[in-house]
A and B are shown apart, each in its own frame.
Chain A
Amino acid sequence: MSNDLIDAAAMIVEMAQSMGASEVTAFTSHGTYTDVKQRDGSIEKWQDSQSRSASAALFVDERFSVHSTNDLRPQALKAFIHRAIEATRHLEPDPNRRLPDASIMGEAKTSGLELVDPSEPKIDHRTWVDEMQQATTAAIPKNLRSVEGFVWSGSSASAMVTSNGFASTTATTEYGQGAEVSMEDIGGKLPEAYDYALARHHNDLPSIASIAESVAQRGAGQLGSGPVTSRRGAMLVENRVASRIIGTLVGPMSGASIFEQRSCMADKLGTQIAASGFNLIDMPHMVRGLGSATHDGDGIPTTQRHLVENGVLNQWLINIYYGRKLERPPTSGGTSNLVVPPGKRSTDEILADHDWTIKVDGFLGGNSNAATGKYSFGIRGTLYEKGVAISAVSEMNITGSIFDLMGGFIEAANDPWMYGATQSPSLLFDAVQFSGQ
C-alpha cells in the first residue's frame, strides 16, 4: 500500500508540473475502519469504512492553491489538476509561497515509532462491543437508564511527495473502546457520562473492566448535580479533559495568529505566561504516540520542543510560510504529542490539601478569544472540601484570562492521560472565577 500511495502522489506531482505548476506537494492516503456501537444488548450501528483521498498544493507563477479529491479516475484526476492550475493563475502572487529548500527537508531519525501494531490482532467486534457494553451495565447497580458500548479499529497509510525530491510514507493502526451511560436522576433528568481509551497497539488499551468501572463512577457522580454559589476558588482539571486548557493556551501560538495580529501571544515570546512550575513539551518521537510523526506538513524533520519551560514561552508554532512572513526561522507549524510532565502527588492528596476545590471532569461549550486571551467555558464536575466530595456540579461557568489562569497554576498530579495526542495529568489552578448561583 505504501508504494502505491507514493506512486500515486508522485504521479500527481509529475502531472501538475507537466501542466505548468512550478512546484508541487502531493498527499495521498488510504484508511480502513470498523466502528461498532451496541446499546442495551443490541447492536445499534455497524459501519465499515474504506476511504481514500489525494490532495495537492500547487505553486504556479508564485501563486498558491490547495486541492483535494477522492475521484481518482485518471481522466477525472487529470481534468481536476488542469482546472486547479488554471484557477491558480488568476490569484495574486505571493512569493513567500514556495517549497522549503530541499536541504532542510527529511525525516527525523528515530529508533522506531511503532505506530503500527505488528500483531495484527484478530478482532471479533461483535464480542468486543458486547463485553464492553455488558461490563458497563453490570458495573451500575442503580439509576441506570441506558448503556451504549462502542469499539473501533482501523488502519491508515499516507504518503507525501514534493517536486524537489522529498518523499515519505506513514502508516498507523488505531484501536479504541468505551461506553456512555444515561442515568436516571431527580426531576426527570438523564445525565450522561462516558469514558474511552484509544491506542496504536491493541494490547495498550486498558482493561474493559477498568473503563466500565470508570464510566459507572462518572455516571453516579452526575446525580443530583447543580450550580453552587459564584466565587473564586481552586480548580482541579481532570487529566482527560485538560486538553481544553492546553488547546486554549497553544492556539494563539500559531504563526498565522501571530502574523495576523490576532494573538495574545504576539508579545510574549521569552516572557512568563504561566507559573514557574508549568511545562509544556511537544514530543513528536513518542513511541506509539497518537500524534507522533517524523516530519511536519512542510516536510521538515520534527524535533522535541519545550514550548513552555518553567512558565516561560519559548517558541511559537511557525511553519515555513509564516516563518518567511515573520522573518523568523520555522519551528514547525503544528504540534504532535503535547505533554505536561506529571507531578508527584495523586489527585486525592491534592484535593485533601485544599479547603474548597471544584474538580472539573467535563466542559460544556464556551470559547476563548485568541486576541485577548479571555476565555469562558461551561463546566461540570464535583465540589470537594478538604478532599471530601460535597456535591455534583453542573450549570456553571469559568471565566477569565488564560494568563491569569496559567499564572495560578499550582501543580500537576501524577496521573498523565495516555490515550490522546495531548498527554496531561490533572492540573490544579488557584483563584479561578466560577459563576453559578
Chain B
Amino acid sequence: MSISKPTGAPGSYFAALGVTTEVLREVMADALSKGGDNCDLYFEHSSSISVALTDGKVNRASTHISLGMGVRVRFKDQVGYAYSEDLSPSALRIAARTAAGIANASQPRKVAVPVAMSLPNHYPVISPWTEVDIQHRVKMVRGWEQSAFQSDTRIQRVEVSLSDAAKVVMIVRPDGRLVEDWRPMTRASIQCTAEGTGPDGETVRESNGYNIAGRAGLEYYDEQRSARLVSEAVERTIFLIDAISPAPGEMPVVLGAGPSAILLHEAIGHGMEADFNRKRISIYADKMNTVIANKHVTIVDDGTLLGARGSINVDDEGNNTERTVLVENGRLVSYMHDEVSAEHYGIKPTGSGRRQSFRHAPMPRMRSTVMEAGTLDPEEIIASVSKGIYCKTFSNGAVHIGGGDFSFYMKTGFLIENGKLSTPIKDVNIIGNGPEALLRIDMVGNDPLVDEGGWTCGKDGQSVPVSQGMPTVRVSSLVVGGEQ
C-alpha cells in the first residue's frame, strides 16, 4: 500500500487530486489576505504498511493512510496555523483564512505563479516497496525469526516487525516556489527474550532488541544488514543475562562509536536549534562564535547523507537542505535554522525546518547529527581510564534546553578497570549538563560511525525521524546511575 514515486512533473500529483495552480494561488491569497508577511502551503499524502510476527506467527498487519494540507501564515515572529484533511478548494481556503488571522494589517500580499523547482535525490531507491508483495514481507520476517532462534539456544521468544512507508509532500510559497518530494522509509525490528544463568548463578530472563531504519527500498535488507539485524538483536539480549548495575556516582565515561551520538542529540543538538536561541531560552543563546568544546570536536547536522533516516531532499518550508557545521574545532559557528529564526538573525535558513505532518507547523529540527573523526584509536581511549564505564548501546534520552541538563539511558556497556573493559553492565541512566559535558570531551576517536538505528526525535509534541553518529569519545566526568 506504499505510495509510488510520482513520475509526473512536480505539482501534478496533487493537481490530480484537484489542487490546481489556480487553487494554490487562491489559497495563498487567502492566507495573506490580512497582511501576513509570508506563508507556506504543505500538502502531504502518506501511506505505510507493517507486518509483525509474535508467538511464532506472522499474524498481524497494519496500514495507515493520511492526506491533508497545512497552511502557516507568518506575521513578524508570530505564526498562525491551520490544516485541512479535505483537499477541496473551499476547505483549503477556509483553513487559509483561519491561519491568516494571526496578522492584522490591511494590505494583502501578492502571490506569484508557482513554478516547479528540481531537487537533489539523497535517497535513491532501487527496489520500491510497491513492487514487494505481502508474501515476500512475511517470508522476510519469518526468516529473521528463525535465524534468531538458531543463533543461541537461550533465546526463548522472538518478535519481529517490518514496515515501510512513503509520503509525497508538496510545498508551495507565495514567491512562486513549488517543490515536490517523495520520501520513502523502511524499518525492521527484532525483540528477543532470553533465559540464562546470571552472574550469581540465578536464572535470569531478559528482553532486548535491535532495529534499523533508512530511506530505502527492499535493497536495504541485503544479506549483510539482515544478518546484522538478527545478530545484534540476539547479542544485545544475551548480553543482559550476565550484566550487572554499576556503582553510582561521577566517573569518566567512554562512549562507543555510533549509538553514543545520543549525547550529541540531547546534550548539544536541541540547544542549537535556533528557535530556542531566538527566544533566548537555550543555554547556547549567548555563545555564538565562542569556544564551547575541545578543539578536536567538530559537529555537523547533515540533511544530505545518502539513504539516512534523517535525510531530506528539501525541508518542509521548501528550502534546500544542506550539511550545516554547528561546532567547528570547538567553536560554535551556527545554529540550525528554519525561516523564522533565519529571518530573525538576518541569515539564510539552513534547511532545518521540519514537521511531523501537515497537522503541524515546521520548526528547526535535527536531521543527521554527527561528530567528525578525531585522531585517537578507540583502544587508546579505553586504556586511558583507570576506573569508569564504557557505553555501548542506548535506548533514549532527554534534555532541558535552558538549564542544559541532559540524560541518556545506557542499555548495555562495560565497566572499565585499569584501562580494560571488564564486567558487562546494563540499564543505567547517565546525566550531565550539556555545555559542561562538551568541554569534558577530551579524547576523540578515529572510528566515526553513523548509527543505523531507527531514532525518532520528539519536540513540542512533534516526532521526526533522525540519524546520529560519532566516533568513540571520552567524557572526563558524568553522573552515572547505579546501585551500591
Complexed CA–CA distance, A371 and B420 (Å): 30
If A377-B429, A436-B479 touch, whether A63 touches B59 (CB-CB below 8 Å) is yes
Q: Does A100 contact B (CB under 8 A)?
A: no
**B290 shortest CB reach to chain A, Å:** 11
Complexed CA–CA distance, A259 and B83 (Å): 41
Partner of B102, one of A46, A66, A188, A436: A46
| Cβ proximity bits B351-373 to A, threshold 8 Å, 1 near / 0 not | 00000000101000000000000
Complexed CA–CA distance, A414 and B401 (Å): 33
Judge whether B405 and A435 touch: CB under 8 Å. no
Binds A, one of B8-16, B116-124, B279-287, B448-456: B279-287
Complexed CA–CA distance, A19 and B285 (Å): 59
If A44-B78, A185-B403 touch, whether A70 touches B68 (CB-CB below 8 Å) is yes
Complexed CA–CA distance, A189 and B432 (Å): 13
**B61 shortest CB reach to chain A, Å:** 4
Partner of A71, one of B67, B431, B481: B67
Binds B, one of A81-89, A160-168, A203-211: A81-89
Task: Provide the residues of chain B in CB contact with A68, threshold 8 Å.
Answer: 62-65
Judge whether B407 and A366 touch: CB under 8 Å. yes
Q: Does A356 contact B (CB under 8 A)?
A: no
Residue of B nearest to A90 (CB): B134
Q: Which residues of B, 340-399, contact A by the 8 Å Cβ criterion?
A: 359, 361, 395-399
Partner of B58, one of A91, A394, A433: A91
Task: Provide the residues of chain B in CB contact with A69, threshold 8 Å.
Answer: 64-66
Judge whether A146 and B280 touch: CB under 8 Å. yes
> How many interface residues does chain A have, given as a range?
35 or more
Binds A, one of B49-57, B168-176, B253-261, B308-316: B49-57
Binds A, one of B24-32, B181-189, B243-251, B294-302: B243-251
Complexed CA–CA distance, A63 and B58 (Å): 10
Complexed CA–CA distance, A365 and B432 (Å): 12
Partner of B206, one of A44, A371, A435: A371
**A1 shortest CB reach to chain B, Å:** 15
Partner of A372, one of B134, B206, B282, B397: B206
If A69-B65, A88-B61 touch, whether A46 touches B205 (CB-CB below 8 Å) is no
Task: Provide the residues of chain A in CB contact with B81, threshold 8 Å.
Answer: 45-48
Complexed CA–CA distance, A354 and B321 (Å): 56
Q: Does A240 contact B (CB under 8 A)?
A: no
Task: Provide the residues of chain B in CB contact with A67, threshold 8 Å.
Answer: 62-64
If A68-B64, A395-B405 touch, whether A87 touches B49 (CB-CB below 8 Å) is yes
Task: Provide the residues of chain A in CB contact with B481, threshold 8 Å.
Answer: 366, 376-378, 397-399, 435
| Cβ proximity bits A294-322 to B, threshold 8 Å, 1 near / 0 not | 00000000000000000000000000000
| Cβ proximity bits B424-439 to A, threshold 8 Å, 1 near / 0 not | 0011111111010000
Complexed CA–CA distance, A436 and B406 (Å): 14
Task: Give the size of the chain B interface in residues (CB under 8 angstroms).
Answer: 89
Q: Does A261 contact B (CB under 8 A)?
A: yes
**A128 shortest CB reach to chain B, Å:** 16
Task: Provide the residues of chain B in CB contact with A365, threshold 8 Å.
Answer: 266, 396-399, 406-409, 429, 431
Interface contact tally, CB-CB below 8 A: 264
Pick the most buried of A93, A189, A395, A437: most chain B CB atoms within 10 A of its CB.
A395
Q: Does B419 contact A (CB under 8 A)?
A: no
Complexed CA–CA distance, A189 and B395 (Å): 27
If A44-B78, A399-B481 touch, whether A80 touches B65 (CB-CB below 8 Å) is yes
Task: Provide the residues of chain A in CB contact with B61, threshold 8 Å.
Answer: 65-66, 87-88, 91
Complexed CA–CA distance, A371 and B1 (Å): 35
Judge whether A371 and B400 touch: CB under 8 Å. no
| Cβ proximity bits A91-119 to B, threshold 8 Å, 1 near / 0 not | 11110010000000000000000000000
Partner of B205, one of A83, A185, A261: A261
Judge whether A262 and B207 touch: CB under 8 Å. yes
Complexed CA–CA distance, A65 and B51 (Å): 9
Q: Does B156 contact A (CB under 8 A)?
A: yes
Complexed CA–CA distance, A219 and B415 (Å): 37
Complexed CA–CA distance, A185 and B283 (Å): 10
Q: Does A367 contact B (CB under 8 A)?
A: yes
Complexed CA–CA distance, A192 and B276 (Å): 12
Residue of B nearest to A180 (CB): B281
Task: Provide the residues of chain A in CB contact with B83, threshold 8 Å.
Answer: 49-50
Q: Which residues of B, 82-103, contact A by the 8 Å Cβ criterion?
A: 82-85, 98-99, 101-102
Judge whether A374 and B249 touch: CB under 8 Å. no
Judge whether B402 and A192 touch: CB under 8 Å. yes
| Cβ proximity bits A348-376 to B, threshold 8 Å, 1 near / 0 not | 00000000000000001111011110111
Q: Does B80 contact A (CB under 8 A)?
A: yes
Q: Which residues of B, 104-140, contact A by the 8 Å Cβ criterion?
A: 133-135, 138
**B166 shortest CB reach to chain A, Å:** 15
Task: Provide the residues of chain A in CB contact with B204, threshold 8 Å.
Answer: 372
**B456 shortest CB reach to chain A, Å:** 15
Complexed CA–CA distance, A92 and B427 (Å): 35
Pick the most buried of A97, A435, A437: most chain B CB atoms within 10 A of its CB.
A435
**B49 shortest CB reach to chain A, Å:** 7
Q: Which residues of A, 404-437, contact B by the 8 Å Cβ criterion?
A: 433-437
Complexed CA–CA distance, A433 and B247 (Å): 10
**A31 shortest CB reach to chain B, Å:** 11
Q: Does B445 contact A (CB under 8 A)?
A: no
Judge whether B407 and A45 touch: CB under 8 Å. no
Task: Provide the residues of chain A in CB contact with B426, threshold 8 Å.
Answer: 369, 374
**B269 shortest CB reach to chain A, Å:** 14
Q: Which residues of A, 42-76, contact B by the 8 Å Cβ criterion?
A: 42-52, 63-71
Judge whether B479 and A227 touch: CB under 8 Å. yes
Judge whether B63 and A190 touch: CB under 8 Å. no
Complexed CA–CA distance, A380 and B138 (Å): 46
If A65-B61, A365-B406 touch, whether A92 touches B138 (CB-CB below 8 Å) is yes
Task: Provide the residues of chain B in CB contact with A395, threshold 8 Å.
Answer: 405, 431-433, 479
Judge whether B138 and A90 touch: CB under 8 Å. yes
Q: Does B79 contact A (CB under 8 A)?
A: yes
Judge whether A51 and B359 touch: CB under 8 Å. yes
Task: Provide the residues of chain A in CB contact with B98, threshold 8 Å.
Answer: 48
**B278 shortest CB reach to chain A, Å:** 10
Partner of A49, one of B80, B134, B359: B359
**A403 shortest CB reach to chain B, Å:** 13
**B238 shortest CB reach to chain A, Å:** 13
Task: Provide the residues of chain A in CB contact with B60, threshold 8 Å.
Answer: 64-66, 91, 94
Pick the most buried of A97, A365, A433: most chain B CB atoms within 10 A of its CB.
A365
Q: Does B153 contact A (CB under 8 A)?
A: no
If A365-B407, A436-B479 touch, whether A189 touches B402 (CB-CB below 8 Å) is yes
Judge whether B433 and A92 touch: CB under 8 Å. no
Q: Does B484 contact A (CB under 8 A)?
A: yes
If A48-B98, A260-B159 touch, whether A43 touches B193 (CB-CB below 8 Å) is no
Residue of B nearest to A84 (CB): B63
Judge whether A44 and B404 touch: CB under 8 Å. no
Q: Does A400 contact B (CB under 8 A)?
A: yes
Pick the most buried of B156, B248, B432, B483: most chain A CB atoms within 10 A of its CB.
B248
Complexed CA–CA distance, A93 and B56 (Å): 11
**A76 shortest CB reach to chain B, Å:** 8
Given contacts A43-B102, A189-B433, A433-B248, 20 further A-B contacts (CB under 8 A): A44-B78, A51-B359, A68-B63, A68-B65, A91-B61, A146-B280, A222-B403, A225-B403, A260-B157, A261-B193, A262-B157, A365-B408, A367-B409, A374-B427, A376-B427, A377-B429, A378-B398, A378-B431, A395-B433, A435-B480
Q: Can you list 16 pairs linking A and B with CB atoms under 8 Å apart?
A: A49-B83, A68-B62, A83-B1, A88-B61, A93-B59, A145-B281, A182-B280, A192-B401, A192-B403, A227-B479, A260-B55, A366-B429, A372-B205, A394-B405, A399-B248, A399-B429
